[in-house]
Copies of this chain bind each other. A is one copy, B any other.
Amino acid sequence: MFKAIVSASTLRDALDSVSVLVDECKIRLNEDGLAIRAVDPANVGMVDLSLDAAAFESYEADGGVIGVNLSKLEDFVGMADSSQLVELELDEETRKLNIRIEGLSSTLALIDPDSIRQEPDIPDLDLAAEIVLEGAQLDRGIKAADMVSDHVRLRVDDAEEAFHIQAQGDTDDVDFQLDAGDLIDLTAGEADSLFSLDYLKDMNKAIPKDAEVTVELGQEFPVKLHYRVAEGQGNVTYMLAPRIQSD
């Protein structure tokens, strides 16, 4: 059983955070809210989304799992204006999702959850540095790195208490330095890892420019990025595996 009403913009932001990584996903319809965990086909980027029941106008579910084609679901939800409400209801018998938006009734065929890549375990990592910054700052650093390379180095300089987004191309390089004063918060620690820009650019697409993003960073370790959605009633966590630094 699943029946919920939610604002189109809340649902859209939540789905976007997942669709930048995968085309299909399982959605867990827990009693206390929606949850999606997914990993990209290359096992490099993961996402963990939770949307609490409180993020919905109304929410009823009893723990089922459905499989969805995300771009189709986003198309359907995209028929609503941001301020409109979207009504979702699972038809257990036909295994279809009914979507209603003011006069428009759509039916989306679901996918067998067993045919979808397994949900990843997102490990608890003890990462030395934690940086809290605005989505817009992260965006700026990623755009700069993208001009010269296809990978990016995230680094915390313990001595000067700064976060660096760096990239080194064949001939050119960039270093975007955010001092403690530029950041919302910084827990300095030895942390320096290299990542694929392609993945980080995809994740960055979904991160609102005004979001408060927490970056957990280690020494040649995966990075974790998380931010709140749905006015605090939901959470997105990305995890990205590092690339080997070849110096």
Please encode chain A, from 104 to 115, with 1 for each CB lying within 8 Å of some chain B CB and 0 for all others: 111111000000
Contact B140 A104 (CB under 8 A): yes
Please encode chain A, from 128 to 168, with 1 for each CB lying within 8 Å of some chain B CB and 0 for all others: 00000000000011011001100000000000000000000
Partner of A176, one of B103, B141, B171: B103
Q: Does A173 contact B (CB under 8 A)?
A: yes
Q: Does A180 contact B (CB under 8 A)?
A: no
Binds B, one of A13-21, A23-31, A71-79, A190-198: A71-79
Contact A172 B108 (CB under 8 A): yes
Residues of B within 8 A of A182 (CB): 103
Copy tally for this chain in the complex stands at 3
Q: How far is the CA of A177 from the CA of B101 in the complex (A)?
A: 11
Contact B176 A107 (CB under 8 A): no
Q: Does A174 contact B (CB under 8 A)?
A: yes
Q: Does A230 contact B (CB under 8 A)?
A: no
Contact A104 B175 (CB under 8 A): yes
Residues of A within 8 A of B (CB): 72, 75-76, 79, 103-109, 140-141, 143-144, 147-148, 171-179, 182
